[in-house]
Structure 1
Amino acid sequence: MNTHHLDLNKLRRQLRQQRRRLDCFQQRQAAQAVLNRLRYHPTIRKSKKIGLYLDAFGEIPTTGLIELCFKLNKEVYLPKICNMNQNLFWVKISRQQFYTRRFAMHRLGMLEPQQRGIAVQHLDVLCMPLLACDTTGMRLGMGGGFYDRTLAKTKQRPYRLGLAHDFQRLNFILPHQAWDQPLHALCTPHHYQVFTL
Protein backbone atom coordinates (compact mmCIF):
# COMPACT_ATOMS: atom_id res chain seq x y z
CA MET A 1 0.00 0.00 0.00
CA ASN A 2 1.36 3.43 -0.90
CA THR A 3 1.39 5.43 2.31
CA HIS A 4 1.60 8.76 0.45
CA HIS A 5 -1.94 8.27 -0.75
CA LEU A 6 -3.12 6.66 2.44
CA ASP A 7 -6.45 8.08 3.49
CA LEU A 8 -6.31 7.84 7.30
CA ASN A 9 -10.02 8.57 7.68
CA LYS A 10 -10.87 5.75 5.30
CA LEU A 11 -8.45 3.41 7.09
CA ARG A 12 -9.97 4.36 10.46
CA ARG A 13 -13.47 3.70 9.10
CA GLN A 14 -12.52 0.28 7.73
CA LEU A 15 -10.78 -0.81 10.92
CA ARG A 16 -13.63 0.45 13.10
CA GLN A 17 -16.14 -1.54 11.05
CA GLN A 18 -13.94 -4.63 11.14
CA ARG A 19 -13.61 -4.33 14.90
CA ARG A 20 -17.35 -3.87 15.39
CA ARG A 21 -18.08 -6.99 13.35
CA LEU A 22 -16.31 -9.23 15.86
CA ASP A 23 -18.80 -11.32 17.84
CA CYS A 24 -18.66 -12.06 21.58
CA PHE A 25 -16.92 -15.38 21.04
CA GLN A 26 -14.17 -13.85 18.87
CA GLN A 27 -13.69 -11.05 21.39
CA ARG A 28 -13.49 -13.49 24.29
CA GLN A 29 -10.94 -15.63 22.46
CA ALA A 30 -8.81 -12.59 21.56
CA ALA A 31 -8.92 -11.28 25.14
CA GLN A 32 -7.89 -14.69 26.52
CA ALA A 33 -4.99 -15.03 24.06
CA VAL A 34 -3.69 -11.55 24.91
CA LEU A 35 -4.09 -12.24 28.63
CA ASN A 36 -2.08 -15.48 28.28
CA ARG A 37 0.73 -13.54 26.56
CA LEU A 38 0.80 -10.87 29.27
CA ARG A 39 0.29 -13.08 32.33
CA TYR A 40 4.05 -13.41 32.93
CA HIS A 41 5.16 -10.23 31.19
CA PRO A 42 8.28 -9.06 33.09
CA THR A 43 7.47 -5.34 32.81
CA ILE A 44 3.93 -5.83 34.11
CA ARG A 45 5.19 -8.14 36.86
CA LYS A 46 7.71 -5.61 38.18
CA SER A 47 5.45 -2.56 37.82
CA LYS A 48 3.18 -1.15 40.50
CA LYS A 49 0.93 1.40 38.77
CA ILE A 50 -0.75 0.11 35.62
CA GLY A 51 -2.93 2.20 33.34
CA LEU A 52 -5.64 0.28 31.50
CA TYR A 53 -8.88 1.11 29.69
CA LEU A 54 -12.47 -0.12 29.71
CA ASP A 55 -13.26 -1.49 26.26
CA ALA A 56 -16.27 0.18 24.63
CA PHE A 57 -15.79 0.13 20.86
CA GLY A 58 -14.62 -3.38 20.01
CA GLU A 59 -11.10 -3.01 21.41
CA ILE A 60 -9.40 -6.01 23.03
CA PRO A 61 -11.51 -6.56 26.19
CA THR A 62 -9.58 -5.77 29.36
CA THR A 63 -11.68 -7.37 32.13
CA GLY A 64 -9.34 -10.37 32.50
CA LEU A 65 -6.26 -8.16 32.49
CA ILE A 66 -7.72 -5.83 35.12
CA GLU A 67 -8.61 -8.85 37.29
CA LEU A 68 -5.07 -10.20 36.88
CA CYS A 69 -3.63 -6.85 37.99
CA PHE A 70 -5.81 -6.87 41.09
CA LYS A 71 -4.75 -10.45 41.80
CA LEU A 72 -1.08 -9.42 41.53
CA ASN A 73 -1.74 -6.50 43.92
CA LYS A 74 -1.10 -3.88 41.26
CA GLU A 75 -2.68 -0.43 41.38
CA VAL A 76 -5.13 -0.15 38.48
CA TYR A 77 -5.72 3.23 36.84
CA LEU A 78 -8.34 4.13 34.23
CA PRO A 79 -8.33 7.18 31.96
CA LYS A 80 -10.58 10.17 32.49
CA ILE A 81 -10.79 13.01 29.98
CA CYS A 82 -10.21 16.45 31.47
CA ASN A 83 -12.85 18.74 29.97
CA MET A 84 -10.65 21.81 30.26
CA ASN A 85 -7.70 20.73 28.13
CA GLN A 86 -8.86 17.38 26.66
CA ASN A 87 -5.91 15.61 28.29
CA LEU A 88 -6.22 12.26 30.03
CA PHE A 89 -5.82 11.83 33.76
CA TRP A 90 -5.50 8.44 35.42
CA VAL A 91 -7.84 7.48 38.22
CA LYS A 92 -6.98 4.69 40.64
CA ILE A 93 -9.91 2.31 40.97
CA SER A 94 -10.67 -0.31 43.58
CA ARG A 95 -11.69 -3.86 42.88
CA GLN A 96 -15.11 -3.08 44.32
CA GLN A 97 -15.57 -0.07 42.06
CA PHE A 98 -14.64 -2.20 39.06
CA TYR A 99 -17.14 -4.94 39.90
CA THR A 100 -19.97 -2.60 40.82
CA ARG A 101 -19.30 -0.53 37.66
CA ARG A 102 -19.37 2.77 39.53
CA PHE A 103 -18.46 4.79 36.46
CA ALA A 104 -20.07 7.62 34.51
CA MET A 105 -20.86 7.51 30.80
CA HIS A 106 -18.79 10.00 28.82
CA ARG A 107 -20.45 11.71 25.86
CA LEU A 108 -18.03 9.88 23.52
CA GLY A 109 -19.57 6.59 24.62
CA MET A 110 -17.20 5.04 27.12
CA LEU A 111 -17.40 4.65 30.88
CA GLU A 112 -14.98 6.60 33.03
CA PRO A 113 -14.26 6.97 36.75
CA GLN A 114 -15.20 10.24 38.40
CA GLN A 115 -12.60 10.61 41.16
CA ARG A 116 -9.52 12.79 40.90
CA GLY A 117 -6.71 11.43 38.77
CA ILE A 118 -2.93 11.60 38.47
CA ALA A 119 -0.76 12.60 35.50
CA VAL A 120 0.43 9.95 33.06
CA GLN A 121 4.11 10.14 34.10
CA HIS A 122 3.25 8.53 37.44
CA LEU A 123 2.22 5.28 35.73
CA ASP A 124 4.73 2.47 35.24
CA VAL A 125 2.90 0.78 32.37
CA LEU A 126 0.22 2.12 30.07
CA CYS A 127 -1.85 -0.44 28.15
CA MET A 128 -3.29 1.43 25.20
CA PRO A 129 -6.19 0.74 22.87
CA LEU A 130 -5.66 1.45 19.17
CA LEU A 131 -7.17 1.16 15.73
CA ALA A 132 -3.88 0.21 14.07
CA CYS A 133 -0.16 -0.10 14.74
CA ASP A 134 2.50 0.07 12.04
CA THR A 135 5.88 -1.66 11.69
CA THR A 136 7.66 1.08 13.67
CA GLY A 137 5.30 1.05 16.68
CA MET A 138 3.33 4.10 15.59
CA ARG A 139 -0.23 3.86 16.79
CA LEU A 140 -3.36 5.02 15.00
CA GLY A 141 -5.97 5.96 17.60
CA MET A 142 -9.67 6.70 17.28
CA GLY A 143 -8.94 10.22 16.07
CA GLY A 144 -9.44 12.22 19.26
CA GLY A 145 -5.69 12.46 19.95
CA PHE A 146 -6.21 12.06 23.71
CA TYR A 147 -3.35 9.62 24.33
CA ASP A 148 -0.85 11.36 22.03
CA ARG A 149 -1.66 14.80 23.40
CA THR A 150 -1.32 13.59 26.99
CA LEU A 151 1.96 11.73 26.40
CA ALA A 152 3.52 14.52 24.31
CA LYS A 153 3.21 16.92 27.26
CA THR A 154 5.42 14.93 29.62
CA LYS A 155 9.11 14.06 29.48
CA GLN A 156 8.90 11.01 31.68
CA ARG A 157 6.63 8.46 30.04
CA PRO A 158 5.45 5.03 31.12
CA TYR A 159 6.14 1.81 29.25
CA ARG A 160 3.58 1.90 26.42
CA LEU A 161 2.00 -1.40 25.48
CA GLY A 162 -0.57 -1.51 22.67
CA LEU A 163 -3.34 -4.11 22.76
CA ALA A 164 -4.88 -5.06 19.43
CA HIS A 165 -6.53 -7.68 17.27
CA ASP A 166 -4.27 -9.33 14.69
CA PHE A 167 -5.84 -7.45 11.77
CA GLN A 168 -4.89 -4.14 13.40
CA ARG A 169 -1.20 -4.89 12.96
CA LEU A 170 -0.18 -3.18 9.73
CA ASN A 171 2.73 -4.21 7.50
CA PHE A 172 3.49 -0.68 6.35
CA ILE A 173 4.43 2.65 7.94
CA LEU A 174 1.72 5.14 8.86
CA PRO A 175 2.26 8.83 8.23
CA HIS A 176 2.75 10.50 11.59
CA GLN A 177 3.08 13.85 13.28
CA ALA A 178 5.94 15.02 15.50
CA TRP A 179 3.80 14.65 18.63
CA ASP A 180 2.65 11.07 17.91
CA GLN A 181 3.90 8.70 20.59
CA PRO A 182 5.23 5.30 19.53
CA LEU A 183 4.62 2.11 21.49
CA HIS A 184 7.34 0.11 23.21
CA ALA A 185 5.52 -3.10 22.30
CA LEU A 186 2.35 -4.43 20.69
CA CYS A 187 0.45 -7.47 21.91
CA THR A 188 -2.11 -9.23 19.70
CA PRO A 189 -3.60 -12.73 20.08
CA HIS A 190 -0.89 -14.23 17.83
CA HIS A 191 2.00 -11.77 18.02
CA TYR A 192 4.14 -9.95 20.51
CA GLN A 193 6.28 -7.30 18.88
CA VAL A 194 8.88 -5.04 20.55
CA PHE A 195 9.84 -1.77 18.84
CA THR A 196 13.16 0.03 19.01
CA LEU A 197 12.36 3.57 20.08
Structure 2
Amino acid sequence: MSNQTLTLRKDLRTQRRKLSALQQRHSEIHALQQLIQHPKFKIAQKIGIYLDNFGELSTKKMIKYCFKMRKEVYLPTICNMNNILVWVKISQHQFNNQRFVMHRLGMLEPVATRGVHVSNLDILLMPLLACDVTGTRMGMGGGFYDRTLASAPFKPYRLGLAHDFQFLQQKLRRNPWDQPLHALITPTRSIRFQCQICQ
Protein backbone atom coordinates (compact mmCIF):
# COMPACT_ATOMS: atom_id res chain seq x y z
CA MET A 1 0.00 0.00 0.00
CA SER A 2 1.47 3.37 -1.02
CA ASN A 3 2.19 6.19 1.42
CA GLN A 4 -0.39 8.29 -0.42
CA THR A 5 -3.08 5.65 0.16
CA LEU A 6 -2.11 5.28 3.82
CA THR A 7 -2.33 9.05 4.30
CA LEU A 8 -5.72 9.19 2.56
CA ARG A 9 -7.04 6.37 4.76
CA LYS A 10 -5.83 8.13 7.90
CA ASP A 11 -7.31 11.49 6.86
CA LEU A 12 -10.70 9.98 6.02
CA ARG A 13 -10.89 8.04 9.28
CA THR A 14 -10.03 11.21 11.20
CA GLN A 15 -12.65 13.24 9.34
CA ARG A 16 -15.25 10.57 9.97
CA ARG A 17 -14.51 10.40 13.69
CA LYS A 18 -14.87 14.18 13.99
CA LEU A 19 -18.51 14.15 12.86
CA SER A 20 -20.82 15.26 15.65
CA ALA A 21 -23.93 13.34 16.66
CA LEU A 22 -26.03 16.10 15.07
CA GLN A 23 -24.12 15.83 11.78
CA GLN A 24 -24.55 12.05 11.82
CA ARG A 25 -28.31 12.34 12.38
CA HIS A 26 -28.63 14.92 9.61
CA SER A 27 -26.67 12.72 7.20
CA GLU A 28 -28.68 9.62 8.12
CA ILE A 29 -32.04 11.31 7.50
CA HIS A 30 -31.05 12.73 4.11
CA ALA A 31 -29.34 9.54 2.96
CA LEU A 32 -32.49 7.59 3.83
CA GLN A 33 -34.51 9.92 1.60
CA GLN A 34 -32.08 9.24 -1.25
CA LEU A 35 -32.33 5.50 -0.64
CA ILE A 36 -36.14 5.46 -0.55
CA GLN A 37 -36.19 6.98 -4.05
CA HIS A 38 -33.64 4.56 -5.51
CA PRO A 39 -35.37 2.27 -8.06
CA LYS A 40 -33.30 -0.81 -7.17
CA PHE A 41 -34.11 -0.42 -3.48
CA LYS A 42 -37.81 0.04 -4.17
CA ILE A 43 -38.12 -3.40 -5.77
CA ALA A 44 -35.59 -5.23 -3.57
CA GLN A 45 -36.96 -7.63 -0.96
CA LYS A 46 -33.80 -9.09 0.61
CA ILE A 47 -31.60 -6.28 1.92
CA GLY A 48 -28.02 -6.79 3.08
CA ILE A 49 -26.90 -3.95 5.35
CA TYR A 50 -24.36 -3.22 8.10
CA LEU A 51 -24.58 -1.96 11.67
CA ASP A 52 -22.54 1.24 11.85
CA ASN A 53 -19.89 1.24 14.56
CA PHE A 54 -16.88 3.16 13.24
CA GLY A 55 -18.37 6.51 12.19
CA GLU A 56 -19.84 5.15 8.95
CA LEU A 57 -23.07 6.59 7.63
CA SER A 58 -25.64 5.44 10.18
CA THR A 59 -28.05 2.71 9.05
CA LYS A 60 -30.49 2.54 11.97
CA LYS A 61 -33.27 4.50 10.26
CA MET A 62 -32.71 2.53 7.05
CA ILE A 63 -33.13 -0.76 8.89
CA LYS A 64 -36.30 0.50 10.58
CA TYR A 65 -37.65 1.62 7.21
CA CYS A 66 -36.93 -1.83 5.73
CA PHE A 67 -38.97 -3.46 8.48
CA LYS A 68 -41.76 -0.93 7.97
CA MET A 69 -41.89 -1.86 4.27
CA ARG A 70 -41.78 -5.58 5.15
CA LYS A 71 -38.42 -6.11 3.51
CA GLU A 72 -36.10 -8.83 4.83
CA VAL A 73 -33.00 -7.51 6.64
CA TYR A 74 -29.70 -9.40 6.60
CA LEU A 75 -26.59 -8.48 8.57
CA PRO A 76 -23.04 -9.72 7.94
CA THR A 77 -21.07 -12.05 10.12
CA ILE A 78 -17.49 -13.12 9.45
CA CYS A 79 -16.97 -16.81 8.69
CA ASN A 80 -13.79 -17.74 10.56
CA MET A 81 -12.94 -20.58 8.17
CA ASN A 82 -12.39 -18.39 5.10
CA ASN A 83 -12.78 -14.77 6.26
CA ILE A 84 -15.74 -14.07 4.01
CA LEU A 85 -19.06 -12.58 5.08
CA VAL A 86 -22.23 -14.61 5.37
CA TRP A 87 -25.58 -12.95 5.83
CA VAL A 88 -27.93 -13.59 8.73
CA LYS A 89 -31.60 -12.64 8.57
CA ILE A 90 -32.71 -10.67 11.63
CA SER A 91 -36.14 -9.88 13.01
CA GLN A 92 -37.48 -6.51 14.04
CA HIS A 93 -37.62 -7.77 17.62
CA GLN A 94 -33.94 -8.75 17.49
CA PHE A 95 -33.00 -5.33 16.12
CA ASN A 96 -35.11 -3.38 18.62
CA ASN A 97 -33.58 -5.32 21.53
CA GLN A 98 -30.04 -5.01 20.12
CA ARG A 99 -29.37 -8.73 20.30
CA PHE A 100 -25.89 -8.55 18.80
CA VAL A 101 -22.39 -9.55 19.83
CA MET A 102 -19.11 -7.67 19.43
CA HIS A 103 -16.64 -9.27 17.04
CA ARG A 104 -12.96 -9.08 18.01
CA LEU A 105 -12.43 -6.57 15.15
CA GLY A 106 -14.95 -4.20 16.71
CA MET A 107 -18.09 -4.64 14.63
CA LEU A 108 -21.45 -5.80 15.91
CA GLU A 109 -22.75 -9.11 14.55
CA PRO A 110 -26.00 -11.06 14.85
CA VAL A 111 -25.93 -13.85 17.42
CA ALA A 112 -24.36 -16.88 15.73
CA THR A 113 -26.75 -18.71 13.43
CA ARG A 114 -26.68 -20.12 9.93
CA GLY A 115 -26.18 -17.44 7.29
CA VAL A 116 -26.76 -17.31 3.52
CA HIS A 117 -24.40 -16.57 0.65
CA VAL A 118 -24.31 -12.96 -0.51
CA SER A 119 -25.80 -13.93 -3.91
CA ASN A 120 -29.12 -14.61 -2.13
CA LEU A 121 -29.53 -10.88 -1.48
CA ASP A 122 -31.25 -8.48 -3.88
CA ILE A 123 -29.27 -5.42 -2.82
CA LEU A 124 -26.21 -4.91 -0.62
CA LEU A 125 -25.76 -1.60 1.22
CA MET A 126 -22.04 -1.31 1.86
CA PRO A 127 -19.87 0.78 4.19
CA LEU A 128 -16.70 2.39 2.88
CA LEU A 129 -13.88 4.80 3.57
CA ALA A 130 -13.96 6.33 0.08
CA CYS A 131 -15.44 5.91 -3.37
CA ASP A 132 -14.27 7.55 -6.60
CA VAL A 133 -16.04 8.63 -9.80
CA THR A 134 -15.61 5.18 -11.39
CA GLY A 135 -17.20 3.27 -8.50
CA THR A 136 -13.93 2.02 -7.03
CA ARG A 137 -14.51 1.42 -3.33
CA MET A 138 -11.93 1.81 -0.59
CA GLY A 139 -12.95 -0.30 2.38
CA MET A 140 -11.57 -0.51 5.89
CA GLY A 141 -8.64 -2.64 4.75
CA GLY A 142 -9.70 -6.14 5.79
CA GLY A 143 -10.89 -7.16 2.31
CA PHE A 144 -14.01 -8.89 3.65
CA TYR A 145 -16.43 -7.39 1.12
CA ASP A 146 -14.04 -7.91 -1.80
CA ARG A 147 -13.50 -11.58 -0.95
CA THR A 148 -17.23 -12.11 -0.41
CA LEU A 149 -18.33 -10.45 -3.66
CA ALA A 150 -15.66 -12.17 -5.76
CA SER A 151 -17.90 -15.25 -5.75
CA ALA A 152 -21.04 -13.29 -6.69
CA PRO A 153 -20.38 -11.35 -9.92
CA PHE A 154 -24.02 -10.80 -10.93
CA LYS A 155 -26.02 -10.42 -7.73
CA PRO A 156 -26.64 -8.55 -5.44
CA TYR A 157 -26.78 -4.94 -6.60
CA ARG A 158 -23.90 -3.15 -4.85
CA LEU A 159 -24.84 0.19 -3.34
CA GLY A 160 -22.29 2.10 -1.28
CA LEU A 161 -23.31 4.42 1.56
CA ALA A 162 -21.08 7.39 2.34
CA HIS A 163 -20.83 10.84 3.81
CA ASP A 164 -20.42 13.50 1.13
CA PHE A 165 -16.71 14.01 1.81
CA GLN A 166 -16.07 10.30 1.13
CA PHE A 167 -16.99 10.68 -2.55
CA LEU A 168 -13.71 11.60 -4.26
CA GLN A 169 -13.22 13.28 -7.62
CA GLN A 170 -9.71 11.84 -7.82
CA LYS A 171 -9.42 8.26 -9.09
CA LEU A 172 -8.44 5.57 -6.63
CA ARG A 173 -6.16 2.76 -7.69
CA ARG A 174 -8.26 -0.33 -8.47
CA ASN A 175 -6.52 -3.62 -7.78
CA PRO A 176 -7.54 -6.80 -9.66
CA TRP A 177 -9.34 -8.12 -6.55
CA ASP A 178 -11.25 -4.89 -5.83
CA GLN A 179 -15.02 -5.18 -6.27
CA PRO A 180 -16.52 -1.94 -7.66
CA LEU A 181 -19.91 -0.49 -6.81
CA HIS A 182 -22.95 -0.22 -9.03
CA ALA A 183 -23.99 2.99 -7.30
CA LEU A 184 -23.38 5.30 -4.34
CA ILE A 185 -25.70 7.20 -2.03
CA THR A 186 -24.65 10.18 0.06
CA PRO A 187 -26.87 12.61 1.98
CA THR A 188 -27.03 14.88 -1.08
CA ARG A 189 -26.47 12.61 -4.09
CA SER A 190 -27.43 9.35 -5.75
CA ILE A 191 -24.81 8.30 -8.31
CA ARG A 192 -24.79 5.38 -10.74
CA PHE A 193 -21.44 4.29 -12.09
CA GLN A 194 -20.65 3.30 -15.67
CA CYS A 195 -18.55 0.32 -14.66
CA GLN A 196 -18.13 -3.14 -16.13
CA ILE A 197 -20.47 -4.80 -13.65
CA CYS A 198 -23.16 -2.16 -14.31
CA GLN A 199 -23.76 -3.12 -17.91
- TM-score (norm. length: structure 2): 0.94
Match in the other structure for 1:164: 162
Cα displacement (A) at 1:41? 2.0
Match in the other structure for 1:118: 116
Match in the other structure for 1:65: 62
Aligned residue for 2:115, secondary structure, equals coil
For residues 51-93 of structure 1, give each alpha carbon's deviation from its aligned partner in whole angstroms, at most 9, with x where no partner exists.
Answer: 0000000000000000110011100000000111100000000
Alignment of 1:154-193 (within 5 A): 154-193=152-191
Cα displacement (A) at 1:10? 1.4
Cα displacement (A) at 1:6? 6.3
Amino acid at match of 1:169: F
C-alpha distance in structure 2 between counterparts of 1:73 and 1:186, whole Å = 23
Amino acid at match of 1:106: H
Aligned residue for 1:36, secondary structure, equals helix
Alignment of 1:22-101 (within 5 A): 22-101=19-98
C-alpha distance in structure 1 between counterparts of 2:6 and 2:123, whole Å = 29
Match in the other structure for 1:127: 125
C-alpha distance in structure 1 between counterparts of 2:153 and 2:25, whole Å = 36
Aligned residue for 1:7, secondary structure, equals helix
Cα displacement (A) at 1:180? 0.8
Amino acid at match of 1:50: I
- TM-score (norm. length: structure 1): 0.95
Cα displacement (A) at 1:104? 0.7
For residues 100-156 of structure 1, give each alpha carbon's deviation from its aligned partner in whole angstroms, at most 9, with x where no partner exists.
Answer: 111110011111012211000010000000000011000000000000111012333
RMSD between aligned residues: 1.1
Amino acid at match of 2:127: P
5+ long unaligned stretches in structure 1: none
Aligned residues between the structures: 193
| Percent identity for Structure 1 against Structure 2 | 58
Cα displacement (A) at 1:16? 0.5
Cα displacement (A) at 1:191? 1.3
Amino acid at match of 1:54: L
Amino acid at match of 1:19: R
5+ long unaligned stretches in structure 2: none
For residues 159-184 of structure 1, give each alpha carbon's deviation from its aligned partner in whole angstroms, at most 9, with x where no partner exists.
Answer: 00000001000001111111211111
CA 1:37/1:155 → structure 2, altered by over 3 Å: closer, same or farther?
closer
Amino acid at match of 1:188: T
C-alpha distance in structure 1 between counterparts of 2:131 and 2:153, whole Å = 22
C-alpha distance in structure 2 between counterparts of 1:6 and 1:107, whole Å = 27
C-alpha distance in structure 2 between counterparts of 1:103 and 1:36, whole Å = 27
C-alpha distance in structure 2 between counterparts of 1:120 and 1:42, whole Å = 20
